[in-house]
Amino acid sequence: MSELSIGDRVGDVLASLPEGVLLVGAAKMRSPEEARAAIEAGLPAIGHNYVQQAETMRQSLSEWEARWENPVRWHLIGHLQRNKVKKAVALFDMIETMDSVSLAHTVDRHCADIRKVMSVLIEINSGRESSKTGVAPGETLNLAREISQMEHLRLQGLMTMGPRFGDPEDSRPYFRVTKGLFDSLSSADLGGGEMRYLSMGMSNSYRIAIEEGANIVRIGTTLFGERRA
């Protein structure tokens, strides 16, 4: 695998995805040059866990990005801290990790300041792990209704990480729980919200996630190689 370039790997993964599945390149700890190589090979979206890393990367790619023909989509895929909301709403096209009413209000307010409507996914703590971010499955409908009433947020779906396993088959039940929520919210009256995107699956689990209904996959290692410490 190490002889393949980033561009080759992006091409291989893109070719393997069913139609309608959006590939997000998880770019934490990667250099702007690595991200650019991936984008030039057709990667449509970049995901960042940290606002600061995204800002640094976007700044160094900004001149190139302005000339690039296909606009790249920037997704926040890590937990959003209150003191980073202002920067985050300026940088990202989608926040995949919305997990509380109060955070939603804060994002809504900052989006109002810059007259932007932010696409958001609700992050589900599908493993009900106390160490993890995301809402408990039982609280999802309430949060979805609240977000749907906020003028500067557009609810577009759900995201989950699930517990990490060596055997990706073990992730399947958590993907299934999240898809079940996605389906029940799809038929609920959410006002303005809609269930369009289901973001599940990483390098070792994305094939299973797609079998369970994912249409966004967030992939790092398979595209960029092992993360350096």
Ligand X SMILES: *Cc1c(COP(=O)(O)O)cnc(C)c1O
Q: Where do contacts with ligand X occur on this chain (CB under 6 A)?
A: 26, 28, 49, 77-78, 161, 202-203, 218-222
Residues 124 and 135 sit within 8 Å (Cβ to Cβ)? yes
Give me the amino acid identity at 84. K
**Least distance in angstroms from the C-beta of 21 to ligand X:** 14
The backbone torsions φ and ψ at residue 199, rounded to the nearest 5 degrees and listed phi first, read -100, 105
**Least distance in angstroms from the C-beta of 36 to ligand X:** 18
- Rounded distance, CA 29 to CA 71, Å? 22
Nearer to ligand X, 72 or 121 (CB): 121
**Least distance in angstroms from the C-beta of 123 to ligand X:** 9
Diameter of the chain measured on Cα atoms: 50
Nearer to ligand X, 140 or 205 (CB): 205
- Rounded distance, CA 213 to CA 185, Å? 14
- Closest residue to ligand X, judged by C-beta, is 220
Query: What single string gives the DSSP state of each residue in 12-77?
Result: HHHHHSPTTPEEEEE-TT--HHHHHHHHHTT--EEEES-HHHHHHHHHHHHHHHHH-SSPPEEEE-
Structure tokens at 26: 């998880």
Nearer to ligand X, 77 or 158 (CB): 77
Nearer to ligand X, 151 or 169 (CB): 169
99 CB-side CA count, 13 A: 22
Nearer to ligand X, 140 or 222 (CB): 222
Strand 94-98, strand 197-199: pairing: unpaired
**Least distance in angstroms from the C-beta of 124 to ligand X:** 13
Nearer to ligand X, 116 or 227 (CB): 227
Structure tokens at 55: 């800002």
**Least distance in angstroms from the C-beta of 27 to ligand X:** 9
**Least distance in angstroms from the C-beta of 66 to ligand X:** 27
